[in-house]
Chain A
Amino acid sequence: MIRVENIKKYFPIKDGFFNNKSGDVKAVENVSFEIPEGEILGLVGESGSGKSTLGRAIIRLIEPTQGNIFYKNKNITKLSDSEMRKLRKDFQIIFQDPYASLDPRKKIYDIISQGLKVHEKMDKNSINQKVEEIIQDVGLQKEHLNRYPHEFSGGQRQRIGIARALVLNPKFIIADEPVSALDVTIQAQILNLILELKKKYSLTILFISHDLSVINQIADRVMVMYLGHIVEVANTSNLFSNPQHPYTRSLIETAPQIFRKNKKKTLLKGDIPSPINPPSGCVFRTRCPNPGIDCKGGNIEMGLIEVEPGHWVDQCCANCN
């Protein structure tokens, strides 16, 4: 469905006064992956690791600095705006903040139907029908269409955000932390709804979260991202039963859980470094609990290698271990 090759996204930093470029925020570095049709691919990492930037770059909401994006085997990296516009409705995003992402002045009906009016030549009746169908699909009622966003709870707003994304029958959804702002009970409801709708609408999903326990519940396969790099990829059960990268291990060990099997908890030192000036060699080395002598780089560059079928890990680390 989607294949990306060596995607990079740098944000130039301008010197305030002369507007000279003084460096780059290296948000995404050489990332390649595929999402087969019907898969939920999880993308996990701390805030600032580049998850949202990667998500936006692969559907060209922001232009990648480098790399190629293929959608159904067609290279869409260089498509013109008008060609891209035709594809737009196939790609939709569900956002984290159900408060900020809905226009407070618009009624729910207008929020949901907006896309239909832009992308489809539909008569009023068909639009009504579609909107009424979708509002029920997300677990709300027709009566809700006449209300404004502030009349809804966080969970209900997230349902509205999902309805807005699905009304155009998209093929590929980027769900960017869709449950991070919600209570656990509402979180479970929304995750379940996403799974149901994925089946009903045959969706392919990139599911972004900083919470491994959420990813564990919903994803078929997981990519772990740190400071712009993918450091490990595996199907969900392999990643959790046999994590290879120290960053992945620490994320699993520190995820709070009621009944913890493994009492070991390796704390990471300090904070994630600035992506303007990332560490040489392995980008994780400044926080790694157990760095090797080669990790400073020189002999080796970051990049994934396959350690068991379908299980990839950063090669610096595969060699260190």
Chain B
Amino acid sequence: MSDALVQARGLRKCFGDIEAVSGIDVDVRPGEAFGFLGPNGAGKSSAMRMIGCVSPRTAGELQVLGLDPDVDGPRIRARLGVVPQQDNLDTELSVRDNLHVYGRYFGLSRAAVRAKATELLDFAQLTDRASDKVEPLSGGMKRRLTIARSLVNDPELMLLDEPTTGLDPQARHLLWDRLFRLKQQGVTLILTTHYMDEAEQLCDRLVVMDGGLIVAEGSPGDLIARYSSREVLELRFAPGEQHGQRAAVDELAERLEELPDRLLLYTTDGERALSAAHQRGVRPVSSLVRRATLEDVFLRLTGRSLVD
């Protein structure tokens, strides 16, 4: 037995003819923040729901907290904190009542739940909205409440499915800050995202998923080092024109990717590649030298960009 909190081998999930997860191996260690990065439909939520012991697996092995979800689902769920992709707060109840009711579902005493709710309201910065109904809260507030609610049972492992999708940048940063604090306190986090910046910010280790399969695995830095160069030169053209410029810049980069309106040149020195391109008479509408990101890794691995 390993000390992994989650251990999956050949994990599969089918919905009728659709194979959402096609055999993945995953190990999540105590205390780490582990990410599933992938585009919509990659199978992230399906994998999370199996780990969350709500969706039975079609095939493969799965252990969560050392137990088998098929046998011990309720006992495992008692130790998990789940933030689903789609909020399912009771919008007709007050913010505080949402925490109370949910805590009771874990079999906690009323006194324990009351004390916990006060603490969590503070954590989620919702104390002044405690007796308001949930309905009129902003998306960011609802998301924070969902996260607070998932902590009501003091989970050892948190599952966050796209915690910040659809939020404005300010709300996202606030959420990231809360998740950092949890991580510092030793809570193991598993999260899915299709934002590379989120994955880079939060994850110690991640897997890149596409079409139900894991296509790469490692820390964000590892993945970038393995699948991309250090820098990227982006040359933007009027859509359609980029193709004709390919030949001129091809040999300036270790690798070249073509998108509908630009060329991406993977190189250790972006500025030098840019002046070389200018010398060859290439005149892009604009150009940009940047550090390589997970987006580039994903593009390399799948030939598509992550968020369309």
Partners in one complex: no
Interface residues of B (CB under 8 A from A): none
Interface residues of A (CB under 8 A from B): none
